[in-house]
Amino acid sequence: MDGSSFKTPGQILREVREARGIDQQEMATRTSIPLRLLAALEIDDYEQLSGDLYVRSFLRSCAKELGLDPQALIDLYQEGINAQQATEAAGEPTWEAEVAVERVGGIPWAMVLRGAAAVLAVVLIILVVVRISNRGDMDSGQTPDVIEIPAAAAPDTAFDAGAVAEESEVVPEDEPTGAPAATAVAGEGADSAAGGESVPAESGGEPEAGAESETPGDRIPAEDVSTAMAGSSAAAIADMPAGDPTLIFADGRRRSLVLRIVGPSPLAVAVAADGAELVPLSVPGRGAISSLPDHGIESGRLYRARDRYVAYWAGDDYFFVRLAEDAGVSVSLNGRPIDIPPGVVGREWELNADKAAP
């Protein structure tokens, strides 16, 4: 590649591809890069590629397919970006002016965004003023009237003396723990001010046959429940295929990279493998989600394993992942657990072979 320092990465890719007799459609098929994005890459229209990560990944895929040095091409791209930033800072025309890229004019978005920001600021100020005003009214005003709820009427103790004596003779054999003590059988109890007879206290009704009363010792502490649930989840994950290059997918192939994502609910995630576009994981109704099979796992399909949901993806070089949430979600690449970086939710996250290395 003599003189490559005077050419852009897109020019180099296009010239090498044409020299080898490969048309754009065939190149797009080989690299799994959409034809529209490949065409933009070859004219260095990086704004069409949704970010720096995509540009680098596409350059790497094309360079490998054409037998070029991927890192040299990426370094050339970075040099161009650095030169562009330097010329912009100096107020000179950028190197992009040399690339014939048609730009579509239209709505002045900068003015629209500035106007929207001003309106949002005014709305926030109004909300703060209203909230402070309401708080002042609450602090200076009268407190709401307290509605007094009358206490429950005391049980009528003017029972018939004969009925009391008759009732007191029946003593349950299995009295619930912690219940009030039964009244002494007539003739055996101590004399009271009411003539030696006492009224049995209400115990809330007879317990059903075979039922046991709940006591503080019978309740399971919340931390024990959490520990049990965590243990169940860990057991479910341990029973799953590890998701390493030994895994044989439903198409009968093994792949050099295997991505596994597990979560407590149907996964809200989009994944792209080896330069393809991000594809959201299809989530059918809960009743339609198949159980995780022992073999024949399909790439990019959601399965259920006990109380967990899991999906596997096959790849050869790298993945792009975009999580909608990360609560309780675990990610592994080639069987190796990968920590989810802070703030990555909602953004593209690259996982390549380097992260799968021990």
Which pLDDT does position 299 carry in this prediction? Answer: 92
Do residues 340 and 322 touch, judged by C-beta distance below 8 A?
no
| Cα 358 from Cα 352, distance rounded (Å) | 13
Residue type, 237: I
Instruction: Convert 264-322 into a string of H (helix), E (strand) and C (coil).
Output: CCCCCEEEEECCCCCEECCCCCHHHCCECCCCCECCCEEEEECCEEEEEEEECCEEEEE
* pLDDT for the residue numbered 311: 93
- Upper half-sphere CA count for residue 224 (Cβ side, 13 Å): 4
- Segments of the chain assigned to CATH 1.10.260.40: 4-98
Other CB atoms within a 10 A radius of the CB of residue 320 amount to: 21
pLDDT of residue 49: 84
- Residue 139 has what pLDDT? 54
> What are the mean pLDDT values of the chain's consecutive 10-residue runs (358 residues total)?
65 93 92 92 88 89 92 90 81 50 50 80 84 64 46 44 43 44 39 42 46 48 53 73 87 89 90 84 81 89 90 89 89 90 87 75
- For residue 283, CA distances in Å to 193, 271, 305, 321 come to 74, 14, 15, 16
Spell out the residues 6+ positions from residue 153 whose beta carbon is closer than 8 angstroms to its own: none
What per-residue confidence (pLDDT) applies to 179? 41
Please, which residues have CB within 8 angstroms of residue 247's CB and are 6 or more apart in sequence?
241, 254, 255, 258, 297, 312
Torsion region of 198: left, alpha or beta (phi above 0 gives left; psi -120 to 50 gives alpha):
beta
- What's the CA gap between 99 and 45, in Å, rounded? 8
pLDDT at residue number 198: 44
Report the pLDDT value the prediction gives residue 288, as an integer from 0 to 100.
85
Which residue stretches of 240-274 are H helix? none
Number of residues assigned to the chain: 358
Q: State whether CATH 1.10.260.40 applies to domain 4-98.
A: yes
- Residue 244: the pLDDT is 87
Query: Which residues are 270's β-sheet partners?
Result: 280, 322
> What pLDDT, on a 0 to 100 scale, did the predictor assign at position 11?
92
Whole-angstrom distance, CA of residue 54 vs CA of residue 62 = 12
And the tokens for 105? 């004019």
Q: Is 85 helix (H, G, I), strand (E, B) or coil?
A: helix
Burial state string for 194-213 with b = 16 or more CB within 10 A and e = fewer than 16 = eeebbbbeeeeeeeeeeeee
At 82 the pLDDT is: 87
The first and second tokens of residue 348, run together, are 């593209």
